[in-house]
Amino acid sequence: MNNGWGTDTVSSEVELLARWSLGVQLGTATLLAAFFIALMRTIRLQEIRIWAAAWIADTAAISSAFLATALSPPLAVRAALSAYVGFKTAYVLLLVTGARNHFRPGGVQTLRLRWIVAAVGAWSLALGLLAPTREFLQFGMSLMAGGFLTSGAVWVLRRRRVPRSRWLGTALLAEGVLFLLYVPVLLPTVWGGTALARQTQYAPFLDAGAELFMALAILVVIEGSSSQHLEHLNRELLVSQESLRQLVDLDPLTALANRRRLRDEMERVRAAGAAVIFLDVDNFKDINDRFGHIAGDACLLRVAAALRRTFRSDDTLFRFGGDEFLVIAPGLDPEAAGTRVEKLRADLALGEEGTPPCRISVGIASLAPRGEPEAALREADDRMYLEKRRRKVEDHPRGAAYSAVV
């Protein structure tokens, strides 16, 4: 070997085997890079894009190492191995960054690419140009890669997102330990000594096996990420559907249920029976004519608020249309319903700021268990209109004469 950077004087068979095993590792990395490039076009997760970039960097690193075996001038070998250090460092950083991003579904791991490229470039040039021997360069590279990978593995194993995440942590740990195994062997090169053992020509096979295991672990966690992402989208879809359903089924002014929900609600209470209560605001037209439609809307809002205060939380309140309201009160007998209606009348009879007193006509019917909902609704509606007509007669100055007309 010339000053630690030239071509080693080894048997042609050993050299051929070393290059062949490095070629196998290069082929493996190339296939993995192509696979992950295709995968990121199919599954658009941020961590897949980061891991695809990692395998591209790994392919470039192994290509540089393979090129270094074919070169003899020390300067050319330094240049090739400097490129190897840069690309391999990028591979390690991207692996760990992709693992960190895996724990942030839907988010984007911010990468300061300019600073990362500058740091990786400075590191690779410093190690490639200043390292006195190839063994010293390998020592620095192994220490850095092993430290980052094992630290990333510990971080992943302590923060498992899903049970399958332990695959990713184990793969990072395995590759990190593989790098760290070279550290004690190459440690004497730090003070100018010789390595305790020569790197075997079969080392690229071990590296290729570790990289295949890493790829397998990544695929396992990607499958988990995809399933979790689909579950997240499904939950969002269900929430959106519920929101849309509420928008469709609720009155936009009072936020009470509208007539679309009536059929489902009547079917829900049919088995146990319910009180059916129709209400109509008697003087609503006068309020609109005298005070304007803003006051009319305020009156409707006041009726809705009074209904909420008067009836139970499991009673369903409807704005049936215009100034008509409906209450479906499961299990409430007509007498108890009448008591609540009188309380409602007293509440609305008191004027509030911005709205005059409101007077209501009410019809109460009982839906018997397994009874006919339509019949109960018609009965309550008829009773409400009878009371409304009676009130008009009582309020009209001509009394009975007006009654004969209406």
Could you tell me the residue ranges of all domains in the chain?
Answer: 12-237, 259-405
Question: Taking the alpha carbons of 6, 11, 14, 15 in that order, is the dihedral positive or negative?
Answer: positive
Instruction: Determine the pLDDT at residue 14.
Output: 56
Whether this prediction's pTM lies above 0.85 is answered by no
Q: Show the tokens assigned to 188.
A: 């004497």
Q: Show the tokens assigned to 136.
A: 């010293």
Q: How many CB atoms lie within 10 A of CB 300?
A: 22
Helix or strand (DSSP H, E) at 278: strand 274-281
**Secondary-structure class of domain 12-237 per CATH:** mainly alpha
How far, CA to CA in Å, does 382 sit from each of 232, 276, 319, 389, 397? 50, 12, 17, 11, 25
DSSP secondary structure of 305-342:
HHHHHHS-TTSEEEEEETTEEEEEEET--HHHHHHHHH
Query: Which regions in the chain score pLDDT beneath 50?
Result: 1-3, 7, 9-10, 106-111, 399-406
Helix or strand (DSSP H, E) at 295: helix 293-310
* Cβ-contact 198, 147 below 8 angstroms: no
Strand order in the sheet with 360-367: 316-321, 324-330, 274-281, 360-367
Q: Counting every residue, how long is the chain? A: 406
Instruction: Determine the pLDDT at residue 202.
Output: 64
The end-to-end CA distance of the chain, in Å, is 119
Full 3-state SS string of 338-368: HHHHHHHHHHHHCCECCECCCCEEEEEEEEC
Instruction: Determine the pLDDT at residue 205.
Output: 79
Per DSSP, the three-state class of 380 is helix
Q: Which CATH superfamily is domain 259-405 in?
A: Reverse transcriptase/Diguanylate cyclase domain (3.30.70.270)
Q: What is d(CA 254, CA 281) in angstroms, rounded to the nearest whole number? A: 15
| Residues 6 or more apart whose Cβ sits within 8 Å of residue 355 | 287, 295, 298, 299, 302
Q: Show the tokens assigned to 332.
A: 């409430």
Q: What is d(CA 132, CA 130) in angstroms, rounded to the nearest whole number? A: 6
Long-range Cβ contacts of 65-71 (<8 Å, 24+ apart): 65/22, 66/19, 66/22, 66/23, 66/26, 69/15, 69/18, 69/19, 69/22, 70/19, 71/7
Cα 356–Cα 358–Cα 360 angle in degrees, nearest 5: 170
